[in-house]
Amino acid sequence: MKELTRPALRKGWTRRQFTKILGLSAAAAALPKAVFAQTSPDKPNILFIMADDHCYQAIGAYGSRLAKLNPTPMIDRLAKEGILLENCFCTNSICTPSRACIMTGQHNAVNGVYDLGGKLLPEHQYLAIEMKKAGYQTAVIGKWHLKTDPNFDYYKVLPGQGSYMNPTFKEKGKGRVKMQGHSSDCITDSVLAYLKNRDKTRPFFLKYHFKAPHDMFRNAPRYESYLADVEIPEPESLWDNKNNGSIATRGHKDELLRYIGTSIGRRNLRRNYTKNWAKEPALNDDEAKRQAYQTYLKKFLRCVKGVDDNLKRVIDYLKEEGIYDNTVIMYTGDQGFMLGEHDYQDKRWAYEESMRMPFIVRYPRTIKAGTRTDAIVENVDFAPTMLDFAGVATPKYMQGRSFKSILETGREPRDAKQAAYYHYWMHMAHHDNPAHIAIRTKHYKLIMFYGTSQNRSVPQTPPGWELYDLKRDPYEMNNLYDEPKYKGIIAQLKQQLKELRSKYKEDDPKFAFNKVIDEFWDYDKSDRLKAIEISHVYRKSRDRSRQQQGSYAPG
Ligand code: CA
């Protein structure tokens, strides 16, 4: 049987084509899949690289204000030799839920991982399970953050967030293992050790996950002087946020600015970066904000540099091994990140810098070098796409869809995604962001802040809507929701949003917040009056607790 399979396999036929053409018996067709997986040239290695919170602004190839600092020469080279996605989005901009979407191909209402407390059971780690079934040796190394043990052939992961320096890992078969040095170096050393010792007769599926550049930032000592004398460009919205936001993010007549969304400058009283990096009371507000921003960005970019340099070590190894071109290399972050835009830090927002994920793919056998696409894809689509490269059809239980053909042809199929769906669930947790849902097309973004936690049926922060015309206003500086001429567009977007919520099972009445979404959907005059009242009540309660506690400690 083995002799018979070779010519067909050399031609790269799939198992199904092969059995069909030769008219093989059911018994022959039931040959172990591994026979095919081991030898078939249509199964490339798949290397999925993900850094934590690495946003597109901090990748040179995306051409943002930071590109002139040349923050990521290695990642830029991957983009030059492959394809860069301009419209890749996460469905919930926070570590654990985004990782769960990637592992399951499902939205959070279905995979059950809504927030940082979510767990992904081994039997629900579908991407790894399907890759194993397809004959891949599977491994995950680095930050995992899904609580349970990874269901991979091999793992070496940080427990929880893990440590930047001298990290401890949980390694399969060994338990706790401590390493010396910076986490990006240790994770890369572990990736190289894994690759050197792998079974070279089978393709690998490897998830290579950095902890960096997650806060609280710590770079390896060798980067301490990197960018030290450089003035990091600021976003305009750090200083003037114009008409970004709504009553939901600013309060009625801006009365909640000091309570919503952690800030660079002193705006958010509870948590802002001047408390970390511009503590001198003699600094005025502008000086403190400027100093906090410069320190924030330098710390972040030093961590990014460590990621990029380490990535080069792995790329060099793939070249030496002669498998660089036979490996589908994907680079992404688990979500975006606010680098001072709108005076925000952290992620969680549906605003572009937070919702967009960088995504670059290099695979010269089928993907043209130096290409770009503005097709809309989401993190739930990653698993179907990787499985597609492995020759596996998208399982029915996945909600995402493969975008492999878009990567390979640059063309979108007729039924391509028209919009990305977004839902941030963790109401006012950690970084003071109200819970919200959003829809993002190539032209517009419509956001509804419903302002309550998962099991509450009443809003705690004022509900509000925002509309941005991204073609005219890519930095989301002008909320058009109340502009009469956009009424028709808003109605269409609301209809699309409703349909997506139903399709992704997000409108299930078991989630109490859906009552609030329904109640404030039309946002008529009485809804607006209620929102103003909620804004006042919220401000008063926060003012009261501030007075009782004195000033807040930094979070
Ligand atoms: Ca993250």
CB count, 10 Å around CB of 123?
Answer: 9
Give the Å distance between the CA of 534 and the centre of ligand 1. Answer: 31
Give the Å distance between the CA of 98 and the centre of ligand 1. Answer: 8
* 437/540 same-domain check: yes
| Lowest-pLDDT range of 20-24, 94-98, 375-379, 470-474 | 20-24
Give the Å distance between the CA of 52 and the centre of ligand 1. Answer: 4
Give the Å distance between the CA of 520 and the centre of ligand 1. Answer: 30
Give the Å distance between the CA of 472 and the centre of ligand 1. Answer: 29
Give the Å distance between the CA of 346 and the centre of ligand 1. Answer: 9
Domain count, the chain: 2
Give the Å distance between the CA of 32 and the centre of ligand 1. Answer: 39
Give the Å distance between the CA of 145 and the centre of ligand 1. Answer: 9
Residue 365's DSSP bridge partners are: none
Give the Å distance between the CA of 432 and the centre of ligand 1. Answer: 17
Q: Which amino acid is at 505?
A: K
* 255/345 same-domain check: no
* 139/256 same-domain check: no
CB 254 within 8 A of CB 235: no
**pLDDT of the residue at 555:** 34
For residue 271, tell me if it sits in a domain: no
Consecutive H or E run containing 37: helix 33-39
Given 410, 439, 466, the domain boundary residue is 410
Contacts of 153 (CB under 8 A, 6+ apart): 132, 137, 138, 139, 172
Distance between CA atoms of residues 505 and 522, nearest Å? 21
Give the Å distance between the CA of 525 and the centre of ligand 1. Answer: 38
Residue 129's DSSP bridge partners are: none
Distance between CA atoms of residues 228 and 67, nearest Å? 17
Q: Report the CATH number that the domain containing residue 497 is assigned in CATH.
A: 3.30.1120.10
For residue 281, tell me if it sits in a domain: no
Task: Read off the pLDDT of residues 287-327 as tens digits, 9 standing for 90 and up.
Answer: 999 999 999 999 999 999 999 999 999 999 999 999 999 99
Give the Å distance between the CA of 518 and the centre of ligand 1. Answer: 30
**2 has a pLDDT exceeding 60:** no
Give the Å distance between the CA of 376 and the centre of ligand 1. Answer: 21
Give the Å distance between the CA of 3 and the centre of ligand 1. Answer: 49
* 427/527 same-domain check: yes
* 87/144 same-domain check: yes
Distance between CA atoms of residues 141 and 426, nearest Å? 27
Range of the domain at 399: 53-204+211-224+297-410
Residue from 475, 463, 429, 435 nearest 535 by CA: 463
**pLDDT of the residue at 5:** 35
Residue from 53, 75, 49, 52 nearest 62 by CA: 75
For residue 392, tell me if it sits in a domain: yes
**552 has a pLDDT exceeding 60:** no
* 193/304 same-domain check: yes
Give the Å distance between the CA of 266 and the centre of ligand 1. Answer: 24
Given 410, 431, 460, the domain boundary residue is 410
Give the Å distance between the CA of 276 and the centre of ligand 1. Answer: 20
Full strand arrangement of the beta sheet holding 45-51 = 175-178, 168-171, 154-158, 137-143, 204-209, 45-51, 327-333, 359-362, 83-89, 371-378
Q: Report the CATH number that the domain containing residue 82 is assigned in CATH.
A: 3.40.720.10
* 61/183 same-domain check: yes
Percent of residues, the chain, with pLDDT higher than 70: 92
**93 has a pLDDT exceeding 50:** yes
Task: Read off the pLDDT of residues 339-370 as tens digits, 9 standing for 90 and up.
Answer: 999 999 999 999 999 999 999 999 999 999 99
Give the Å distance between the CA of 91 and the centre of ligand 1. Answer: 13
Give the Å distance between the CA of 533 and the centre of ligand 1. Answer: 35
**19 has a pLDDT exceeding 70:** no
Given 356, 383, 410, the domain boundary residue is 410
**15 has a pLDDT exceeding 70:** no
For residue 387, tell me if it sits in a domain: yes
Residue from 102, 61, 58, 54 nearest 78 by CA: 61
For residue 466, tell me if it sits in a domain: yes
Residue from 456, 454, 449, 482 nearest 468 by CA: 482
Give the Å distance between the CA of 16 and the centre of ligand 1. Answer: 39
* 95/141 same-domain check: yes
* 101/216 same-domain check: yes
For residue 256, tell me if it sits in a domain: yes
Give the Å distance between the CA of 29 and the centre of ligand 1. Answer: 43
Give the Å distance between the CA of 489 and the centre of ligand 1. Answer: 33
Give the Å distance between the CA of 122 and the centre of ligand 1. Answer: 21
Give the Å distance between the CA of 31 and the centre of ligand 1. Answer: 42
For residue 62, tell me if it sits in a domain: yes
- What is the number of alpha carbons within 13 Å of residue 144 lying toward its C-beta? 27
Give the Å distance between the CA of 454 and the centre of ligand 1. Answer: 21
Give the Å distance between the CA of 46 and the centre of ligand 1. Answer: 22
- Per-residue pLDDT band for 42 (boundaries 50, 70, 90) equals confident
Give the Å distance between the CA of 99 and the centre of ligand 1. Answer: 9
- Per-residue pLDDT band for 40 (boundaries 50, 70, 90) equals low
Give the Å distance between the CA of 102 and the centre of ligand 1. Answer: 13
**28 has a pLDDT exceeding 90:** no
* 219/253 same-domain check: no
- Find how far residue 97's CA is from the centre of its chain: 9
Q: What is the mean pLDDT of the chain?
A: 93
Distance between CA atoms of residues 400 and 102, nearest Å? 9
Task: Read off the pLDDT of residues 130-142 as tens digits, 9 standing for 90 and up.
Answer: 999 999 999 999 9
**pLDDT of the residue at 416:** 96
Q: Which residue would you say has higher pLDDT here, 546 or 163?
A: 163
**pLDDT of the residue at 551:** 52
* 77/164 same-domain check: yes
For residue 3, tell me if it sits in a domain: no
Distance between CA atoms of residues 193 and 219, nearest Å? 23
- Per-residue pLDDT band for 41 (boundaries 50, 70, 90) equals low
Residue 453 phi/psi, 5-degree rounding, is: -85, 175
**pLDDT of the residue at 413:** 97
Give the Å distance between the CA of 164 and the centre of ligand 1. Answer: 14
* 252/140 same-domain check: no
| Lowest-pLDDT range of 35-39, 271-275, 528-532, 548-552 | 35-39
